[in-house]
Structure 1
Amino acid sequence: MSKNGRAATPLPDLTPLRQGLVLVWESSRGWAALQIALLVLASLVPLLALYLTKEIIDTVAQTLSGGPRDVGRLTLFVALAGGVALAATGLRLLSSLVTEVQGIRLSDRVQEIMHQKSVELDLEFYETPEYHDTLLRAQTEAPYRPAQIVASCAQVAQGGLSLLAVVGLLVSFHWMLVAALLAAAVPGLLVKVRYSSRLYQWSRRRTAIQRLLRYLNLLLTANEPAKEVRLLGLGEEFGQRHRVLRRQADREKLELATQRSGYELLAQMVAVTAVFSAMFVIAQRALAGAVTVGDMVMYFGAFQRAQDFFRDFLAGLAGLYEQNLFLTDFKRFLALEPTVVDPPKPTPYPRPIQRGIEFDHVSFRYPGTETDVLTDVSFVIRPGEHVALVGENGSGKTTLVKLLCRLYDPTSGIIRIDGSDLRDLSLTDLRAELAVVFQDYTRFRLSALDNIRLGNIALPADSPRIFEAARQTGADAIIRALPLGYDTILSRQFEQGAELSVGQWQTLALARAFLRDSQVLILDEPTAALDPKAEAAVFGQFYQWAKGRTAVVISHRLSTVRQADRILVMVNGRIAEAGAHDELVERAGVYARLFETQARPYR
């Protein structure tokens, strides 16, 4: 609290700015050192230029007042002044080039950091709107803020160094010039800082709406929703929603800009008054004979230069303040910590698995919810056993697989492999032993070859195993029919690219899983988009491929799970039944009813 009882204004947290400056230095140390040297040299040029201008004017004034005509002296000073002007231009251009290089290097480094952090974070972060707001703000600022940090740093350094040199000259004339200088520049700084803060707060409040605007834009422009947008006539509906939100944002931003312009006008009025007051003081000293005409021009030029340097210096500080505000979001993003992490001393992954996989009283609920998706689930999968998970939508089948992949950790209970808690195993080792095809598999807009090879990036691009995996799953015939075969980009967004059907994409996802040399195979509705003939062929090949390995299959089509050694029937997040197909049918329970429902239309 201050003495008058009001809460004192807290000092801004400059940690984000310090981190930004460290990034500037670490991303390009050599270029940063060169920039510092250039700025020091550039700061001396204005003082030298002012001195040479003074000498030129005094030489001319001396001749005009009847003194000797010294052409040689005049020529020397003019030549030196021209050389200084050329040097200033060269230093400015070189400094601009160095600044651009630093901005590029820094931008690349920031993108690398963001990518590394994004991959490091758990899936649970994607379940919260706060994460998406933080991510959007960090992503929005990341492409151009680094370059602005570099530019602001250069502006502050050059403006500050040049200002120090020129202020020394002004103080030698009269301290009032320095006071006038402060009066001319400080009001503008206060306006910039005030409205940088207001713009940042406005931007934070608008983040969720900005995400909605991006989504509406995606609906109007992307390929995936294009069919339904046209068939349902949604173009005008989504376009209108986008316009309403955008215009509201435009009005608010224009209001801020209008207020800022009014205050900037007042600041400029103060600056103009200060400039002409300084001119009056200098002219008075010249009329009194205290200084020569050249001195008068030099001092007034110094004041104008000092005003420019001070304005640049303060603008750079205001810019850094603004960068600090927006870098706060980058700092918050980097401060996010995953909860699914490697143990300090990982237990070696068993090769081969000898005792199996055990779910021991496992329960789970998604972050931010209050309902368990899995409740007290216990079962064991023996080494080499093929287990099917069946049940209605929402029964917890896919969630169970996500826990086995350790994309999440159980809310309670333990999952073990050969007696070792999954949380005691290295994440890299664990996931290297899993070959998974999820229901919502990724469609990589890359080459057909990449879409398979990404299953095992340790293999070279010409590995025979890639083409064998394609042949085993039927993907080879699909790929060879493409314009460029395995080199075809699987998207029409690229030249000579091609688009696949849903079933063809699913076949490539299966080939990607087949390529992994893993002990545990997991297929989550792997053939949902395939026709019955193709599905039967894939499962026939799958069970051959899975011999000797542990396999977990999720499927709604019960005809595809009959070959499984054991079937687990899930109801509302619990294991309701377990057994082989014939055994479960004889029990006449949940599985038997599901099987009868699916089989009846074919009789």
Structure 2
Amino acid sequence: MTVRVFWEARWAPIGRLVRRTALTLWSAQPRLAVSFVLILIVRGGMAPLSLWLIKGLVDAISHGHAADTVRILLVLGVAVLATQVLHVQSLLLQASLNERFTAHVELMLMRHANRVVDLRLFEDPAFHDRLQLLSRQAGQRPMGLLAALSNLLPSALTTVGLLGLLGWIVWWAPLLLVLGAVPLGQANARLQRASWQMQLERSGSNRSMRYFSGLAVSEAHAKEIRLYGLAEFFEQRYVEAFERSHADALRQRRRLLIMPLLAACAFVAVNGITFAWVTSRALSGELGIGVLVLALQVLVSLLVYVGGVAGSLGVLRGHLHFFQELFGFLDQPATLLGQANLPVPPSPWRDGLEFERVSYHYPEGQGGVFDLTFTLRHGERVAIVGENGAGKTTLLKLLCRFMDPSSGTIRVNGRPLADIDVEAWRSRIAAVLQDFGRYHLSVSENIGLGDVQHRTDEARVSNAARRARLHEDVEGLPSGYATLLGVSFGGMDFSGGQWQKLGVARAFMREADVVLFDEPTSALDARAEADLFERVEELSDGKIVVIVTHRLASIRSVDRILVLQRGQLVEQGTHAELMARRGEYARLYELQASRYTPNAP
């Protein structure tokens, strides 16, 4: 292997990683970053300077030069004072830069995570573990990198200065000490790389620990845990997950510590050889008192500094590995198939929103939809029904283009949806999802998130609330639309029905072509449910309205009903047509009706 090939394979990637990380630090706050590095460089030169001054002081005292002694003492005092001032200043700069750098990295991660348009990735456990690990460490690794840098740079410069002083006394000693320190640095770097991999491998157990510990402080689970006496059960599950994780980590740490210990012993042995040589020369009278004091101080200091540099390099390599993973995530492209980024066709769509033999297969081989063919048209209210696992949620995900079909084509007025810009398409959709967001923001902001560009338009927000029958509830709040929701920040909480009406109001904020309702009335009482479906009829004017629900009595008046069974479209038609057909829809409808009609068969 040539030197060039070895460089490209081993060191060039590290060089590119260091450069990109440095540019990321620079972009967080350029002036702070420059000031911080300059102070670290000056700090690194102070220790060798102080040792050289001490050598001169010893020589001056031993020769009885009083004037030189006073001058050197004054310079030494200034150097010590400067060292302390620079240390305090570097701590202040580091604290400020820490905050900037950490916020910058977390924003980078947030922005890219929000740009991941294919939600299949969020359902992949490996991707989820990687993203969660990055997210948790984004608040620690930038700070750790700066801390390692603040130790490494001054220590490295001090070490270079000390080696220079030692080389002035013993020319071969610096080379010997550097060779002895290389294995120590490599062992520490290997330990840090393995530490990251170990965290990734333990992600499953750590996720279980976070889940079970989170239950203890979760408002959503507090009532049931106390009602059923589940606290001890979940504590035990936490302990079991911890013991598994800890046992694995302990085994790996024991194995990984062997090389760093051997490398440390080798470095101490090399330093001992140099100590022995200096001592023997001093005994033979070849070294003066000042040189001897300098040599001994340098050797003792090198034991600390070289070990510190090797350790800091290993720690720095561990932090750089985080940035390597971060940049790998940031460079990961979206996985949706569309490349053309065409605009959404102007509405109304003469050819409608068409599913042509659309299938989607989940990677694990369970669920999905198969060979779906139907068309949705403007001004039409369409309900999608079926038992759990029939494919209703998958169909909605395909409509929102959270994922692309495994086969078949979805067309918008004849244009393949895969060729349309994802963000442009989603901007034409409003939805009330089952798991809609309950954001700890004001009522007005919660509603306004349905159309962020108009979130401060009070008239539009209140109009959306009125259409969702939420306005009267908001008027009774202490601060009206400015009332903060969410007990985490000292706000108040809505009932389940009020939250659901807020989710509907959020959908009403957006002027959309397609409106999706996924179980929109699950938390509403009968009167609120009837009001909502009246509003749905008003909303359908000029729009495509899709309703997914298990409450079949609520959808008798829709224009068309699609019936899914095991991922296939088995029936479609009006309520009357499907009841006359006596198929799957009639069976489901009569099964529900039997619970309310005593004489039903």
Judge same fold: TM > 0.5, yes or no.
yes
Q: Please report how far the alpha carbon of residue 97 of structure 1 lies from its aligned counterpart in structure 2 after TM superposition.
A: 3.0
Return the alpha-carbon distance in structure 1 between the equivalents of residues 476 and 40 of structure 2. Answer: 60
Matched, 1:30 2:24: no
Residue type of the alignment partner of 2:198: W
SS of the equivalent of 2:379 reads coil
Taking the aligned partners of 1:508 and 1:188, their CA distance within structure 2 comes to: 60
- 1:372 Cα deviation from its structure 2 partner: 5.6
Matching residue's letter, 1:237: F
Post-superposition Cα deviations, 1:338-383, rounded to whole Å, max 9, x if no partner, equal 22265334144313333311111111122x1335622211111222
Aligned partner letter, 1:353 = W
**Contact kept in structure 2, 1:169 and 1:302, CA below 8 Å:** yes
Aligned residue number for residue 292 of structure 1: 288
| Residues in 2 aligned to 1:425 and 1:267: alpha-carbon distance in whole angstroms | 58
Cα distance in 1 for residues equivalent to 2:352 and 2:256: 68
Partner of 1:67: none
Q: How many Å apart are 1:209 and its aligned residue?
A: 1.0
Q: 1:265 Cα shift?
A: 6.5
**Cα distance 1:88–1:393, how it changes in 2: closer, same or farther (>3 A)?**
same
**3-state SS of paired residue (1:457):** helix
Cα distance in 2 between the residues matched to 1:62 and 1:503: 92
Aligned twin of 2:351: 355
CA apart distance, 1:511: 0.6
Aligned to 1:112: 107
Alignment of 1:541-556 (within 5 A): 541-556=535-550
The alignment partner of 1:455 has SS state of helix
Deviations 1:103-145 (A, max 9, x none): 3322222211211222222211122221122123222322211
* Structure 1 runs not aligned, ≥5 long: 2-8, 64-69
CA distance in 1, matches of 2:240, 2:489: 33
Structure 1 residues 578 and 328: alpha-carbon distance in aligned structure 2, compared to 1, 3 A threshold: same
Q: Report the Cα distance in structure 2 between the residues aligned to 1:335 and 1:198, rounded to whole angstroms.
A: 23
Cα distance in 1 for residues equivalent to 2:550 and 2:447 = 26
Matches of 1:419 and 1:270, distance apart in 2: 73
Secondary structure at the counterpart of residue 21 of structure 1: helix
Matching residue's letter, 1:479: V
Residue 573 of structure 2 corresponds to which residue in structure 1? 579
After superposition, give the CA deviation of every residue in 1:135-176 in whole Å (9 maximum; x if it has no partner): 232223222112222333343332332222222221121135
Residue in 1 that maps onto 2:55 = 54
TM-superposed CA distance for 1:17, in Å, is 4.9
Pick one of 464, 468, 482 that aligns with 2:463.
468
Distance across 2 between alignment mates of 1:319 and 1:481: 56
Q: Does 1:408 align with 2:403?
A: yes
What does residue 504 of structure 1 align with? Answer: 498
Instruction: Please point out which of 357, 365, 368 is paired with 1:373.
Output: 368
Which whole-Å CA distance do the structure 2 matches of 1:44 and 1:199 have between them?
Answer: 33
Structure 1 residue 460: deviation in Å?
4.2
Tell me if structure 1 keeps the 8 A contact 2:428–2:511.
yes
User: Aligned equivalents of 1:193 and 1:579: distance in 2?
Assistant: 66
Q: Which residue pairs with 2:198 in the alignment?
A: 202
Match among 474, 482, 501 for residue 479 of structure 1:
474
Aligned-partner Cα distance in 2 for 1:333–1:220: 32
Alpha-carbon distance in 2 for matches of 1:267, 1:602: 79
Which residue in the other structure is 2:224 paired with? 228
Cα gap change, 1:284 to 1:585, in 2 (>3 Å): closer
In structure 2, do the counterparts of structure 1 residues 410 and 21 end up closer, same or farther at CA, with 3 Å as the change threshold? same
Pairwise CA distance, 1:513: 0.5
Residues 164/118 of structure 1: CA separation in 2 closer, same or farther (3 Å cut): same
- Given that residues 343 and 424 in structure 2 are in contact (C-alpha distance below 8 angstroms), is that contact kept between their aligned partners in structure 1? no
Write the distance in 1 (CA, Å) between the matches of 2:452 and 2:411.
28
Query: 1:208-223 residue pairs with structure 2 within 5 A?
Result: 208-223=204-219
Report which stretch shifted further, 342-351 or 534-543: 342-351
Tell me by how many angstroms 1:484 deviates: 3.3
How far apart are the structure 1 equivalents of 2:258 and 2:417?
62
Please, which of 587, 593, 596 is the counterpart of residue 599 of structure 1? Answer: 593
8 Å contact 1:24–1:150 — kept in the other structure?
Answer: no
- Choose the corresponding residue for 1:318, options 309, 314, 336: 314
- Paired with 1:412 and 1:529, the residues of 2 have a C-alpha distance of 36
Q: Distance in 2 between matches of 1:17 and 1:314?
A: 17
Write the letter of the residue equivalent to 1:559. A
1:532-580, CA deviations, whole angstroms, 9 ceiling, x for partnerless residues? Answer: 1110011112212332222111222222212212222222222222222
Distance across 2 between alignment mates of 1:345 and 1:198: 42
Question: 2:409 matched to 1:438?
Answer: no
Q: Contact conserved, 1:444 with 1:451, CA < 8 A, in 2?
A: yes
1:588 to 573, 582, 592: 582
Percent identity between matched residues is 32
Deviation at 1:488, TM superposition (A): 2.6
- CA RMSD, aligned part only? 2.9
Q: How far, CA to CA, are the matches of 1:264 and 1:534 in structure 2?
A: 68
Counterpart residue number, 1:386: 381
The aligned residue for residue 524 of structure 2 is: 530
Confirm or deny: 8 A CA contact 2:205 2:244 kept in the other structure: no
**Is the CA contact (8 Å cut-off) linking 1:492 and 1:498 kept in structure 2?**
yes
What is the CA-CA distance between 1:78 and the residue it aligns to?
0.9
Does residue 102 (structure 1) correspond to residue 103 (structure 2)? The answer is no
TM-superposed CA distance for 1:458, in Å, is: 0.6
Q: Structure 1: how far apart are the matches of 2:135 and 2:239?
A: 23
Please state if 1:82 is matched with 2:83: no
SS, match of residue 220 in structure 2: coil
Alignment-mate amino acid for residue 32 of structure 1: A
Alignment check: 8 A CA contact 2:190 2:314 kept: no
Report the Cα distance in structure 1 between the residues aligned to 2:188 and 2:402, rounded to whole angstroms.
46
| Equivalent in 134, 143, 153 of residue 138 of structure 1 | 134
How many pairs are equivalent?
589
SS at match of 2:155: helix
Aligned counterparts of 1:598 and 1:265: Cα–Cα separation in 2: 71
Task: Supply the distance in 2 between the matched residues of 1:263 and 1:424 (Cα, whole angstroms).
Answer: 54
1:317, 1:503 → 2: CA distance? 56
- TM-score in terms of structure 2 length: 0.89
1:454 aligns with 2:455: no
Once residues 247 and 578 of structure 1 are traced to their aligned partners in structure 2, the CA distance between those partners, rounded to angstroms, is 54
**Structure 1 length-normalised TM:** 0.89
Distance 1:424 1:263 in 2: 54
